[in-house]
Structure 1
Amino acid sequence: MITAARSVSSEETSARTALKLGPKSIAERLRNLVLETSPTMPAIERYTGVLYDPLDAPAADASTRAWWDRHVIVQSAMFGPIGAGDLIPAYRLSHDSRLPGVRLASHWPAPAGAALAARAPGLVLDLRSEGYRSLGPVPDAVPLRVVSVGGDGRRKALNHWNKTAKGRLVSLLARTGAAVSSMAELTAWAAAHGVVVEPVGDGWDLVAESLEPVSV
């Protein structure tokens, strides 16, 4: 994966197409050229954006970090399933990037799925987007659909802002030291902290408004 990313990132034209980079982000291709010598930091701090901002990882205390290290796995397009505390360099690669000779959707599922299957037994909440979920399938995982509930009671699935709710959920789980091993225990924990997680049809909904703001 590193070799393919380095190859496609060595020239602006190929990087722009393969990595979907614009004029303002084209310089990010250079990260892939120095992956093996770049400084590293814990994955939970490396990633940024609306999913990770609610975690406020740099300010997290030792117990919160320990919870993340035990429970949180991130699906990386470059490195596969990685722990929250795993040290990684900066890189540019997404689940839909197109690399020469390597198709991510074919390369990752078998090894990533095997690695995830070897995890400790217990409840697995799958908060990944559909694209990243396909890179490492977990048959017994429970995906959460993030919804917004209007004044009339109607539910609307959120798109971009569902990431914020997921980040707030993981933040609260860690900061309360949650110990849950089933959906029954998760819903009990959620109720105790004012979070709405409930079964709807054959799936589970997380109500975004119940996580605004997060308080412990």
Structure 2
Amino acid sequence: MIVLLPPSETKAAGGSGASLTTARPGESPLGFPGLAVARSRALAALDRLVAAGQDVSTPAKARAAADNAAVRSAPTMPAIDRYTGVLYDALGAGSLDADARAWVETHVVIQSALLGFVRASDHIPAYKVSEHTKLPGERMRDLWSEAGAVIDGFALDLRSKAYAALAPVAGAVPVEIVSPEGKALNHWNKAGKGALVRSLAEAAVEVDSADALVRWAASASVPLTGTETGLRLVVQDPRLAPSEPGTAAGPVQDR
């Protein structure tokens, strides 16, 4: 079982891992070696973007420009710790016990606009590239349209529609996020996704199909059900149902 997550615009600074260029032969900080050529093209295009000059008109933009300029030499950290924001805060990888953390490192794969698919345990630098970034001489779709071939087996797809379209994964099962009233959610669906992954990790779920996952969800009182096109997760706006920080229940609302 693989859980596919989108990246986050916000990222933690720093790191203590080897950079993309100083890792010793055979100790690359990145998995999925089949993406090496596409990654090299993306990094070369980012070099051209940096050389052309980036917007530094605000402190945030200046930091992003500095991260991009140092992307090859900067220290790295596990991707699951690098990405921040609503989804990753709800997942709370840093507060998981050792077994749940190991589950995340084995089962979670994150899609990066710069590096393609990376495992939760892969060490990555800070960078500022999204699916909307114009990389000189490259098109995002051309870079990553075939990247999904590296994903094997049952894949639970929690990516945004934009990232799923950028790198389609054959057979991946999408998850629709809705409120208890059945309405589509936007911002708070990220919290629901993070809480779902945390629940999966804490329960060390091992399934090989959507049907098996739905059966687990029913046994665990997780409001995840099957639909004609994939799965549906019911999520409560956490402002309406507050819970203790770092708990898996978070925005997931039982029916």
**Normalising to structure 1: TM-score of the pair?**
0.85
Q: Which amino acid aligns with 1:186?
A: L
Name the structure 1 match of 2:208: 181
In structure 2, distance between residues paired with 1:24 and 1:148: 36
CA-CA distance at 1:59 after TM superposition:
2.3
Unaligned runs of 5+ in 1: none
Residue by residue over 1:130-180, the C-alpha shift from the partner in whole angstroms, topping out at 9 and shown as x without a partner, is: 111122211201000000023xxxx10111211110011001100111112
Match of 1:163 among 185, 190, 211: 190
Query: In the alignment, what sits opposite 2:58?
Result: 23
Selected match of 1:127 from 158, 170, 175: 158
- Local SS of the residue matching 2:47: helix
Q: Which residue in the other structure is 1:36 paired with? A: 72
* Residues 18-47 of structure 1, C-alpha deviations (whole Å, 9 max, x = no match): xxx872421111111111211110000000
Query: Identity over aligned residues, as a percent?
Result: 41
Root mean square deviation, CA, Å: 2.1
For residues 67-106 of structure 1, the aligned pairs below 5 Å read 67-106=103-142
Aligned-residue offset at 1:199: 2.4
Structure with higher RCO (Cα < 8 A, 6+ apart): 2
1:8 and 2:8 aligned: no
2:143 paired residue among 86, 92, 107: 107
Aligned with 2:193: secondary structure? helix
Secondary structure of the structure 1 residue equivalent to 2:86 = coil
Instruction: Name the residue aligned to 1:195.
Output: 222
1:95 Cα shift? 0.9
Q: With the length of structure 2 as denominator, give the TM-score of the two structures.
A: 0.73
1:140 aligns with 2:171: yes
Give 5+ residue unaligned stretches, structure 2.
Answer: 1-41, 250-255
CA contact (8 A) 2:141 2:167 kept: no
